[in-house]
Structure 1
Amino acid sequence: MVTHKFKMEAAAGSSKGSCDINAILSELSSDSSDSDCFDDDINDPDFSLQKEMEDSTNINSSTSENEEDHSRIDPQNKYIPMKTSRKRKRKLNKQQRKKLARNSGLEYTTKKGTVIQARNVPGASCKCAKKCFERIGEGLIQSINKSFWNIGDFNRQNAYLFGCLRLEPVKRRYTGNEISRRNNTVRYSVIKDGRSTDVCKVAFLSIHGLQHNRGRVENIQSKMRTGATTPPDDRRGKHKNRPHAYSEEDVQLVKKHIEGIPKYKSHYSRKDNGDKFYVSMEYSIHSCYNHYKDEYCPDIKANPVSFDKYHRIFIEDFNISFKLPKSDTCPTCDSHEIELMAARNDNNMEKLKQINVQKELHLRKAQAGQDNLKVQTERAVLDKEIHVITFDLQRALPTPKLSTGPMFYKRKLWTYNFSIHPCNSSPGHFFVWDETVASRGSDEIGSCLLKYFEDHDIRGIS
């Protein structure tokens, strides 16, 4: 026996809430261009990528002009940021692991093979008259050193060091010259018992494990002398001397090409994946890149980027899947999207506004039906005199379902499955038959419902 996952559709019910078209009109009159802009390939598998991209270029260009709010509010009024890309969390590469080890004071090996010893241990004690190490205490020294290196970020560590330094006027001079190279005295301090405690420079460097990296602190001091109120950012590797880097224009051309790919959204699962777009399974990132390189770039006389760059932009800046959505699309929503596309191409703002109103009204009616079903379901759970059901004819199942070469191209026997689920109880009811027994018209659906009511005594139940 073949088992498969099925979905339950809410039975259309009468909603007590009414949708006032004038109210919607007033909401949309301020800006009629806020609707989602994307091309929808409905159900035609024979579309041409070249043709569809040309038709949808104007649509997607209007989307990029306005920033979209990729967020939504759940039923508990909690803010949920929308996922705008399908970039997965990758593990740190070798260079990133070295950088993290360096910023954490751990031992690491440079590109030249030099082993850098760990610095997350305090250095030798100072031998000054202030006896800094004795005043601070061994336990607090270890704690300060560990906390400093556990930050693991160069800029944040510099911000901490910046706060431990302060400039003061010179109290005494040992030169008779009127102009001295020393204009300020630097005071070093650490926190002990909630108060700032001054220490000497040697002790300060040793406590933080920077006894072999004096230049880091001296660089912060030089910035403070220039009047800087914040520590300098780490600019290593941030230079613009990258002759092979792609320009911003190249990146924007890639994004424009990806935005022009025909894609669509799922209708019934908008709440779960409203930020995800779908592209026909006959395409892939490789096929999209080949079209970009072989047809798109030659047409506009531009140099294509590498596949790696195209792939990273596709994954990191977009949330697109090459597969069928978890649920089918709504024909009314698809019709509205096609009409919106035509109105934008014709620059017909009045028609665009009218379709936006119809689309919003349709979505509100659908939401009102879902809300009404939820209310009736809650009533049925509490009151046994109320019986609420949902029913749906599932997708036809080819039998047998085999991918073997000869069987794949032979005609299959179609099996139908009609499901009924009572909302106040857990078990569902399924009526299964194949195409040799009956079709799947209104007579067959009515027969299944009649059989269900005959098997369940619901007389006297509303």
Structure 2
Amino acid sequence: MSNVTECVDSDASDNTPLINLTRKRKSFGRVQDAAKKIRNHTNTPLINLTRKRKSFGRVQDAAKKIRNHTYETDNQRKDIITRFNKLHDRNEQNNHLCGLIGIQNIKRRRPRRHEAEANLRDNSFVYKVRVLNEVTGLFKEVQICQLAFNNLHGITNRRVVTLKKHLKSGGFCRDKRGTHLNRPHKLTKDRLESIHKHINSFKGRKSHYSLKDSTRIYLPESLNMKKMHQMYVERSPSVKPVSYETYRNNFLKDFNIGTDTCSSCDATKVKVESLESKLRLVQSGTEGEAKLKADLKRVEAEAKLHKLRAATFYIRKRIQKKKRKSNDYEGITMDYCKNLPTPNKTTNDVYYKRQLTFISFNIHVLSSNQSVFYTYPQTIAKKRS
């Protein structure tokens, strides 16, 4: 009996469509967090940390964009984006944008390939904006290019492609995000409750040194997000634990919790509680009661003064943050450098003789990263004089 080998067409198997079973991941991740950190610590223009996207890449498009933008003044451009952002929801915005995009038939074709091989467009599109005439108070439509259309409305090219697709089919571009029921990776109610139950199990405390009433709850300073998630995984055997990102997002979204500690406030709080407990035990009208009341009043005054100083510090800190983003202020650091002995020789005799000290004072400009040095010998002045 001969062996029969079944031959399988490799091309047919390779062309079989594969279904992507992985969950949809975020496009940007934590780029917003990194951008916020850079924005708070520098006054330089923010660098785009996202993936570099493909531009139109033609000088003609850039020149056309400049020509189109010269039709409107700054106030008119602000009016366009303000009216667009005031629309109720995304569906109203799509309806507004579809009214500004016109569809036309192709008037002339100049394909470089044969029509059977070339990927020819079915239609062409024109883009307009409604500009308010500041003199007459009437709106007029100005035709612009797609790049200027995207920039004036603050939208992406992907959104415009979606609008054009619905215009060609004759349907309304309705936002269907969150309306479908097929969500296999949706966070279930039990898993969400397990996150909330675990976070609520931590014994927090309210701020005891803030001058204003706050609903913020403070956790111990030894806790961090990573440790909390590890504790959640250990204490959730019955429910499938969520990932660190999901735990972190729910913590930041649904809870008003912070971490804080102040040794001075903790010591003051203990003193106040101790004096109050002693006052409850001492007899009224005695010298001991008067002394305890005076001590309690003094400690409470010190605590109030400490809170006022802390509030003043945070006010100054906020002011400095605003100044850091302004071009009207400059930050510098000043310090003395290492003393340089003169002359600089390698012989041992130098250690037995007195040398001349050469002093250098450095002023460092933080914005430009430049340094200015002031140098002088010991015979002119001493250090820090």
TM tier relative to shorter chain: 0.3 to 0.5
* TM-score with structure 1 setting the length: 0.31
Give the number of the structure with larger relative contact order, counting CA–CA contacts within 8 Å between residues 6 or more apart.
Answer: 1
* TM-score with structure 2 setting the length: 0.36
